[in-house]
Structure 1
Amino acid sequence: MNPYEELANAIVVLAAKDYRRAIKQLKRNSKYTPAQQQKSEVERFFRSDWCRELTSVDGEFLIEKSQQEV
């Protein structure tokens, strides 16, 4: 794997971690604004053209899978 692929994968993995963290925080407090914002931002990223450039994995799949894991 070349360095650019590694960077792309790291970006997507970090976004998934951030998304799971936000979901966990929202389960504890559904009105926690920073977690709501983080969740929205990551969902927007997963649905973006940029995410499609970084990975061949469908963004909706990443969202669903992350929600199931939490």
Structure 2
Amino acid sequence: MDSYEKLANGIIELAVKDYRRAAKFLVKHPRTKELEDTVEKQLAERRHRIEKRRKLNLPNGLERRSKEERLLDRIYSNECMLADIERFFRSRWFGSLTDINGQWLLERLRREQEAG
């Protein structure tokens, strides 16, 4: 196996590993309306506190992101990761790297996730 093939295989293996990790995370932490509503409420409260401090000419306080905000950010990040990897599996570049059918690989990974 030449260096090009090793590199191509490494790229594909990493994409598969990242896909599995992101899909597993999303199974454990699905995006829900309740979570989104909680985060929206927290953001509105934070904006209100910031505006109140600004009107009183108080220095900006250090606002930490809540556990729910951080979780929702991770969910969005993993959803984007899945979308990017799916796009990669369907791309011409993937076809240049390997003879494997990207759609077949994607379906296989999805079935693997469903099987648990």
On whether the aligned pair clears a TM of 0.5, the verdict is yes
Off by >6 Å, runs of 4+ in structure 1:
none
When the two structures are superposed, what TM-score results if normalisation uses the length of structure 1? 0.93
Compute the displacement of 1:13 (Å): 0.7
When the two structures are superposed, what TM-score results if normalisation uses the length of structure 2? 0.58
Q: Is the 8 A contact 1:20 1:67 kept in 2?
A: no
Match of 2:7 in 1: 7
Q: Which has the larger radius of gyration?
A: 2
Aligned pairs for 1:45-60 within 5 A: 45-60=88-103
Instruction: Give the percent of matched residue pairs that are identical in Structure 1 and Structure 2.
Output: 43
- 5+ residue gaps, structure 2, are 32-74
State the aligned residue count: 70
Give the RMSD, CA atoms, in angstroms: 0.9
1:17 and 2:60 correspond: no
Compute the displacement of 1:37 (Å): 0.5
- 5+ residue gaps, structure 1, are none
